[in-house]
Amino acid sequence: MVCTPPDTARCDLGQYRAAIAAICTVCTGVRLYCLISGLPVQNDGMTTDDAPPLYLQIAEQLAQLIRNGTLARGEKLPSVRELARQHAVAQTTVVQAYHWLEDARLVTARPRSGFFVAARPVSLPEPTTPRPLRRAREVSLDWLGQRILGRKQPEDIISFSSGTPGPELFNPDRVRRAVVRAAQRHRNLLCTYPASSGHEDARRALSRYAVGLGCSLDPENIVITGGCMDSIALCLRAVTQPGDVVALESPTHFSFLEVLQGLHLKALEIPTHPRHGLSLDALQLALDTQPVKAVMIVPTLSNPLGSCMPLSERKRLAQMAGRHGVAVIEDAIYNDLVEVDEMRRSVKSYDTTGHVMLCDSFSKTLAPGLRLGWLEAGRWADKVRAIKDLQAGGQSAVLELALADLITQAGHAAAMRQLRAAVAARMDEVRHIIAAHFPQGTRVSDPPGGLLLWLLLPRALDSVQLHEACLAQKVLIAPGTVFSASGRFRNCLRIGVGGDWSPAHLAALRTVGDMACKMLRQTLQLRAA
């Protein structure tokens, strides 16, 4: 395809052929942008055998243009006939694409007017970066985090604590078919003990999957585990001893604090920007002044902030790890949920010294019930395998091969795009409600994907008290204090849009906002009196 804007520079896309042979992402995106901009478009006939359906290519690329702001909210989109003519496809294909975008709440149809980019709430200010802490702390978690995030909730509770998609966003039939195929083809494995590191074919499939993370990994160095937290715990056991200091994001994932407490490790919280992630300048100071043995980080869609570390910073982090001889334990569990493809690239992809330990699972994207994760431990690979042998042995080889089947299927990329679109629709709904019902001055993160929002409420609001008031109304929210070993973030909330989702959740979130406004007014009145 060649795009030739009138009286402007010529844009030759032939050079991208090799890079986009898998899905033609750039080509399709530029074609759509040229169409929207009124530029002439010529189709050079580039196709791939493994490409997703054309309607999905068109829809996903329009979605990306909408989410990155290239197509403004409220902007009119090409007619069905015009888009079909430009792409030389049937009008029904374009209708499918527009219906997909409607389902994702990215476009709206207006009778006798056409399709328009859906409106979003006014831009909300982002939370600020927390101040640094001077010393590491022993982790001692109280009952609150366990009540909110550590146990199954009663069925009559409307919960905003989940960062995992609900059953309706997964495809259980696809998973079931993969498990049945694996059990039929490898029934003999049901009667043998599994290999501790995982089945060879599954490790080979994970190595191919890791290419999408920018990594070239030897399958022999991959270890399959019982989940991402299992992987992280194995890595920590390999590089630390009780009493050691571990640096991590602030705020951080509650499960990280749990595993640090269980291993008797100290937490050193590093300030983390809500958009750009962990401050490497602050981390550098910590490495220079404190006995840090490991760094735990979620570079893509961190939990709870949803931040994404720029690629230049990921490279810098890998270099810092090599210089200081410190292990970086990277959690890539949310990488498939990010809307910007380049943000899938891992810190591990920049590692030249073996100091980055990559951990991942598919519980957020395929099926939490499989309970499978994996890791590549760099220079500590042998030590991790030895610990794994002593600790738990292997997982079910049949399930490992079912997972390998799922992630190598031609439809996997399309399934991830559908999941991202559905999640984005939920996030847009939630942001609308926050803008309309939460107290003035509330700051909200704006992550490029994922299922989590971080709210910085007015300073006078106590999120723990708000949690208790909401719980009395059978609504569960997660106050910011459970995401810190130091009890910080008392005026913050994490809102998760995972789990079951219904109109009742939207009504409950309005209630949370209204209660926050009421509590703020009461607090300010008491202070004034």
Helices (H), 392-502: 397-408, 412-437, 463-472
Give residue limits of the domains in the chain. Answer: 2-117, 142-162+419-528, 168-409
pLDDT tens digit sequence for 335-380: 999 988 889 999 999 999 999 999 999 999 998 888 999 999 999 9
Q: Is the dihedral of CA 496, 407, 234, 317 positive or negative?
A: negative
Q: Does domain 168-409 have CATH number 3.40.640.10?
A: yes
User: pTM of the predicted model, to two decimals?
Assistant: 0.81
Instruction: Fill in the DSSP letter of residue 148.
Output: I
> Please, what is the average pLDDT of the chain?
86
φ/ψ (deg, to 5) at 331? -100, 115
101-110, 188-197, 462-471, 519-528: lowest mean pLDDT where? 101-110
CA distances from 426 to 12, 433, 497 (A): 37, 11, 7
Calculate mean pLDDT across residues 306-335: 97
Q: Does domain 2-117 have CATH number 1.10.10.10?
A: yes
- What dihedral angle (degrees, nearest 10) is formed by the CA atoms of 114, 118, 122, 126? -150
Q: Element (H or E) spanning 489, and its range?
A: none
Cis bond upstream, residue 251 (ω within 30): yes
Read off the tokens for 367. Answer: 């099926």
pLDDT tens digit sequence for 1-51: 333 333 333 333 333 333 333 333 334 444 554 555 444 444 433 344 456
Fold designation for 142-162+419-528 = Aspartate Aminotransferase, domain 1 (3.90.1150)
Report pLDDT for 122.
57
